[in-house]
């Protein structure tokens, strides 16, 4: 019998998985479900529970009608499978099922088997209240002991794998729900959005059910019921409904994190979070909506103030004379109310369940990263082959044709592999909707978020890394940028502030702009704070851009008070470090009283860098194109020296420090005249440098390689790349070069002071 029990459990799990994703008209899936039901029916012949057999037969009968197209509602079948799981759990515990399945069986088209009408017929009557209490205590003790034994039992490898998949997919589904809930708040009657929220809850409920994650199942089921009423038009979506669903999402996230932690220890998860009060509040909303729904339409219209009581009474009298007409129709004809006030079923017409969706396959990210790495190695290998001197000396057209074909194939393969890692930035942008909503409420400000360019694609790894910096910047925009409603009114602005997120591609980079229409940055105040904190010396002359960039210094803050949102002097320096880590840069534009814009420029991918290959002292370096402003051959008249600041080059009326790469990396101490070589102007945080090199080799996309643990902390170097001749070229770190230059200038200045 143990073998039968294992088979039944397996059939029920497979059944739940298939039914969760079943769509009306999906005949192949229905065929699979029918086969499972037939196998289940054979396996449960030894079970002496008529209710279980009736459920299986009813499910088969209902499924046959679905296949024939006589019905198209899959909900009763889902309910039947859920009931089968509950009944079998009771059987496995050695007792009988005591629930009421009359409604479930009725929906399937079968009757309750005889002998099960009285749910207490197999229990002996209690002699008195004392005995009942003793039995109850004993039952609770047994249940607690069984639960403890269940927790102590370690998970099998198969169970761990299934639960790990559930954790990942459930968290993805909850993120989708959050995004769609914010959209639903803006358009509460959008049936497509309601469906988009309902489906993930339904999936979580179904999968958590067969995994025996009862608490997750209960909460997701309650939230699903709430949304089901909204789908059918029985419940109006308002702020209270949105809030309680968001609260359910937050609780489910915590519970799923509990599952993740349990998996790490190899134990079965046990939930100790209090969800009963949350479920009760959901039930209260559902009950209140049902009470509201049970009222006649006339009474509801009177309560809303759409019609007067005497007008309704007159309409009811007229309906008695014309029974074929409805009250709402009479009121509309008389012009007393508009049709939209009595028609709520229009939302159902907006449903479009036949949208074509591209087939997708989920791939382990490690496998994807390996594919990208190996493709990069292939590109390097073919480049080395193409530039091999012995290969070039062969005069064979067929060989050149094969090499060109190899180049085309490897190049296409590389682009395809990179494209597989590219995802729209939309998911990151939409997470900010919830953030702005919560910040708006906690700060007492009215703030809306506008987005554009959400479909811009970027490397998955970049998307993950840019999330935290964007959260910091949005927080600062709401807390420091957007003014309170009364202050905005006094300035002639609308009470509601706006934060705008924009993304677009520019060359091989993605640009993200975060704009607010708030008070803007106060240059004088920033400068004053920087001096008072010792960040810069008093009396120093800085450009507007350099002043704005002071807010990225560690510990800098102009907040007068510390709030829950910001004001502790942490955040913006984290933003800068995170963006530089991604080989990006950030610029600030601001107008006092009108707002600020933070412009983030990032590479589309972290695996490849688009750069200029330069040569100096016989060595080749790669300068990332993102930081290059221009390259030119200086004229003697452009060159000058400044005491304490070294060599300078005049570029468009601006003196820019000249840095000799060969000297910087101690390759040679050449004092060649600048006009004998080339100058490459690079920029970082509003500062500029002229890098003096011998020649420009060319522009190329190269695959980035790590320098290893021993060299990863070397200033001025971001990595290496294998070039076409098989030799290594070092990739320069622009921010690191500026840091080395500043330190060198400071040491030289201190040396001059000591001499003086």
> In the beta sheet, which residues pair with residue 637?
none
pLDDT tens-digit series, residues 173-228: 888 888 788 778 777 877 788 888 888 888 888 777 767 788 888 888 888 888 88
Name which residue leads in pLDDT, 249 or 361: 249
Q: Active-site residue 180, yes or no?
A: no
Task: Using pLDDT thresholds of 50, 70 and 90, give the confidence band for residue 122.
Answer: very low
Say whether 608-755 and 425-603 share the same fold.
no
pLDDT of residue 306: 65
CATH dotted code for 2-118: 1.20.120
pLDDT of residue 500: 93
Name which residue leads in pLDDT, 136 or 544: 544
pLDDT of residue 502: 92
Task: Using pLDDT thresholds of 50, 70 and 90, give the confidence band for residue 720.
Answer: confident
DSSP labels for 212-236? T-HHHHHHHHHHHHHHHHHHTTSS-
pLDDT of residue 207: 78
pLDDT tens-digit series, residues 10-39: 788 778 777 776 777 777 778 788 888 888
How large a percentage of the chain has pLDDT more than 90? 4
pLDDT of residue 395: 83
pLDDT of residue 515: 93
pLDDT of residue 745: 59
Residue tagged active-site, from 180, 476, 509, 549 = 476
Which residues 6+ apart lie within 8 Å of 360 measured at CB? none
579 token code pair = 């963006």
> CA-to-CA distance for 446 and 516, rounded, in angstroms?
13
pLDDT tens-digit series, residues 275-317: 888 888 888 887 766 554 445 556 656 665 666 777 777 777 7
Give the mean pLDDT of 333-356: 46
Class of domain 608-755: mainly beta
Q: Using the predicted structure, report yes or no on whether residue 680 has a pLDDT greater than 50.
A: yes
CATH dotted code for 425-603: 3.30.565.10
pLDDT tens-digit series, residues 83-99: 888 888 777 776 667 77
Q: Using the predicted structure, report yes or no on whether residue 344 has a pLDDT greater than 60.
A: no
Closest CA to 347 of 488, 189, 527: 189
pLDDT of residue 559: 53
List of long-range contacts for 334-341, beta carbons under 8 Å, 24+ apart: 336/307, 336/311, 337/301, 337/306, 337/307, 341/301, 341/304, 341/306
Name which residue leads in pLDDT, 565 or 693: 693
374 token code pair = 């190996």
572 token code pair = 């913006």
Class of domain 157-294: mainly alpha
pLDDT of residue 509: 78
pLDDT of residue 4: 64
Give the mean pLDDT of 610-627: 86
Q: 269, exposed or middle or buried, with CB in 10 Å at 0-12, 13-18, 19+? A: buried
Task: Using pLDDT thresholds of 50, 70 and 90, give the confidence band for residue 501.
Answer: very high
Task: Using pLDDT thresholds of 50, 70 and 90, give the confidence band for residue 347.
Answer: very low
622 three-state secondary structure: strand
Closest CA to 181 of 199, 167, 162, 194: 194
Name which residue leads in pLDDT, 70 or 139: 70
3-class SS letters over 599-664: EEEEECCCCEEEEEEEEECCEEEEEEHHHEEEEECCCHHHEEEECCCEEEEEECCEEEEEEEHHHH
Q: Active-site residue 224, yes or no?
A: yes
Per-domain residue ranges for the chain? 2-118, 157-294, 297-339, 367-423, 425-603, 608-755
> CA-to-CA distance for 182 and 172, rounded, in angstroms?
16
Residue tagged active-site, from 13, 18, 215, 224 = 224
Q: Using the predicted structure, report yes or no on whether residue 384 has a pLDDT greater than 50.
A: yes
Q: Using the predicted structure, report yes or no on whether residue 749 has a pLDDT greater than 60.
A: no
> CA-to-CA distance for 12 and 42, rounded, in angstroms?
13
> CA-to-CA distance for 542 and 344, rounded, in angstroms?
63
pLDDT of residue 712: 66
């Amino acid at each position: 019998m143990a073998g039968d029990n294992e088979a039944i459990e397996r059939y029920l799990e497979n059944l739940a998985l298939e039914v969760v994703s079943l769509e009306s008209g999906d005949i192949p899936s229905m065929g699979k479900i029918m086969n499972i039901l037939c196998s289940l029916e054979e396996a449960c012949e030894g079970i002496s529970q008529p209710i279980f057999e009736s459920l299986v037969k009813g499910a088969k009968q209902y499924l046959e009608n679905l296949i024939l197209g006589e019905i198209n509602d899959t909900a009763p079948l889902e309910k039947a499978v859920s009931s089968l799981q509950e009944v079998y759990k009771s059987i496995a515990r050695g007792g009988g099922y005591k629930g009421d399945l009359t409604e479930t069986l009725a929906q399937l088209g079968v009757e309750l088997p005889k002998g099960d009408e009285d749910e207490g017929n197999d229990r002996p009557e209690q002699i008195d209240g004392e005995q009942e209490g003793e039995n109850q205590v004993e039952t609770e003790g047994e249940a607690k002991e069984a639960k403890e034994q269940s927790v102590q039992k370690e998970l099998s490898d198969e169970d761990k794998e299934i639960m790990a998949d559930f954790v990942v997919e459930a968290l993805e589904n909850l993120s989708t729900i959050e995004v769609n809930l914010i959209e639903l708040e803006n358009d509460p009657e959008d049936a497509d959005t309601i469906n988009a929220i309902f489906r993930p809850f339904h999936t979580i409920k179904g999968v958590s059910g067969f995994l025996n994650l009862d608490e997750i199942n209960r909460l997701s089921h309650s939230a699903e019921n709430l949304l089901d009423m909204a789908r059918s038009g029985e419940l109006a979506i308002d702020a209270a409904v949105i809030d309680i669903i968001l609260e359910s999402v937050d609780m489910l996230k915590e519970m799923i994190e509990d599952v993740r932690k349990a998996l790490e220890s190899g134990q079965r998860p046990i939930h100790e979070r209090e969800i009963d009060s949350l479920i009760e509040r959901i039930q209260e909303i559902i009950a209140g909506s049902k009470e509201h729904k049970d009222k006649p339409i006339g009474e509801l219209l009177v309560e809303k103030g759409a019609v007067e009581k005497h007008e309704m009474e007159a309409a009811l009298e007229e309906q008695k004379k014309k029974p074929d007409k409805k009250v709402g129709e009479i009121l509309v004809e008389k012009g007393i109310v508009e049709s939209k006030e009595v028609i709520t079923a229009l939302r159902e017409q907006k449903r479009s369940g036949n949208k074509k969706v591209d087939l997708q396959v989920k791939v382990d990210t490690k496998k994807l990263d390996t594919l990208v790495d190996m493709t990069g190695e292939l590109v390097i290998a073919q480049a080395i082959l193409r530039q091999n001197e012995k290969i070039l000396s062969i005069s064979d057209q067929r060989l050149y044709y094969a090499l060109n074909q190899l180049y085309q194939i490897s190049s296409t393969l590389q682009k395809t592999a990179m494209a597989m890692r590219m995802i729209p930035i939309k998911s990151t942008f939409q997470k900010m909707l919830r953030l702005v909503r919560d910040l708006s409420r906690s700060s007492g400000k009215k703030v809306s978020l506008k987005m554009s360019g959400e479909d811009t694609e970027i490397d998955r790894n970049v998307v993950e890394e840019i999330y935290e910096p964007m959260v910091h910047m949005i927080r600062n925009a709401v807390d420091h940028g957007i003014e309170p409603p009364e202050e905005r009114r006094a300035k002639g602005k609308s009470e509601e502030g706006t934060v705008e997120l924009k993304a677009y591609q520019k060359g091989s980079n993605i640009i993200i702009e975060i704009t607010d229409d708030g008070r803007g940055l106060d240059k004088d105040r920033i400068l004053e704070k920087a001096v008072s904190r010792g960040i810069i010396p008093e009396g120093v002359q800085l450009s507007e851009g350099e002043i704005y960039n002071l807010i990225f210094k560690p510990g800098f803050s102009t907040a007068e008070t510390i709030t829950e949102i910001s004001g502790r002097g942490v955040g913006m320096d984290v933003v800068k470090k995170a963006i530089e880590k991604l080989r990006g840069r950030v610029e600030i534009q601001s107008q006092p009283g009108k707002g600020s814009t933070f412009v983030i420029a990032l590479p589309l991918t972290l695996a490849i860098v688009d750069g200029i290959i330069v040569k100096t002292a016989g060595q080749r370096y790669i300068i990332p194109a993102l930081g290059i402003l221009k390259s030119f051959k200086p004229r003697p008249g452009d060159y000058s020296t400044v005491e304490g600041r070294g060599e300078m080059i005049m570029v468009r009326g601006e003196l820019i420090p000249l840095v000799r790469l060969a000297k910087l990396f101690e390759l040679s101490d050449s004092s060649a005249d600048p006009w004998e070589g080339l100058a490459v102007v690079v920029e970082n945080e509003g500062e500029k440098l002229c890098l003096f090199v011998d020649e420009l080799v060319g522009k190329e996309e190269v695959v980035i390689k790590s320098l290893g643990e021993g060299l990863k902390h070397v200033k001025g170097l971001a990595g290496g790349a294998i070039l076409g001749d098989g030799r290594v070229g070092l990739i320069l770190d622009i921010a690191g070069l500026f840091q080395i230059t500043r330190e060198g200038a400071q040491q030289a200045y201190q040396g001059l002071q000591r001499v003086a």
